[in-house]
Amino acid sequence: MKSNSVIDEFRAASREYSDASIFMHEAIARKAGLSGADHKYLGLMLPYKELTAGDLSRLTGLTTGAVTGLIDRLEKKQLLKRKFTQDDRRKVIIVPDVENSMKLLTPLFSELQEKTLALISSFSEDEIRSIKRYFVEATTLMKATADQLNSKPND
């Protein structure tokens, strides 16, 4: 059994990391001319060649109205394009513009990535595996919590 003080210290460090991550991403978003949420949602879209508005709603938990606003804002900044299918003009296909997104975001992340690589390199492979395991399992817990909260009606 781990001591309460070690767990408390871990929780405090985790909370500080989470807060610092939010503040950093907000600062990056502001420099990029985006809101913090739009910046993070764009990051979620970039790995996809294309996705529908419904896919984006399921991926983010946003309502269809909120997705429409997000698409409008990112399209205006030329970070994605809307495409309509031939058979159903109501169906919107979202195509992230990876090139424009990388032009915008890479300069804001390059120094952080270099410093992060130096930090990671200071750990042993076993330590890196442990840290990775924590992130993977914590991410699973957080996604499950978000899914559970999103599936419950608001009181």
> Is residue 44 assigned to a domain?
yes
> Is residue 138 assigned to a domain?
no
Q: What is the pLDDT of residues 53-69, one digit of tens each?
A: 889 988 888 888 899 99
pLDDT of the residue at 91: 79
pLDDT of the residue at 87: 78
How far apart CA 3 and CA 93 sit, in angstroms, is 51
pLDDT at 121 > cutoff 80 = yes
Q: Residue 18 is part of a domain; what is its CATH number?
A: 1.10.10.10
How far apart CA 131 and CA 139 sit, in angstroms, is 12
pLDDT at 149 > cutoff 90 = no
pLDDT of the residue at 155: 63
Q: Domain range holding 25? A: 4-122
pLDDT of the residue at 153: 77
> Is residue 153 assigned to a domain?
no
Total structural domains within the chain: 1
Percentage, residues of the chain above pLDDT 70: 99
> Is residue 134 assigned to a domain?
no
pLDDT of the residue at 139: 94
> Is residue 137 assigned to a domain?
no
> Is residue 145 assigned to a domain?
no
> Is residue 33 assigned to a domain?
yes
pLDDT at 154 > cutoff 90 = no
> Is residue 150 assigned to a domain?
no
The DSSP code for 152 is S
Query: Residues for the chain: how many in total?
Result: 155
User: Which among 8, 18, 43, 10 has a CA at the least distance from the CA of 29?
Assistant: 43
- Between 7 and 90, residue with greater pLDDT: 7
> If 0-12 CB within 10 Å is exposed, 13-18 middle and 19+ buried, where does residue 40 land?
middle
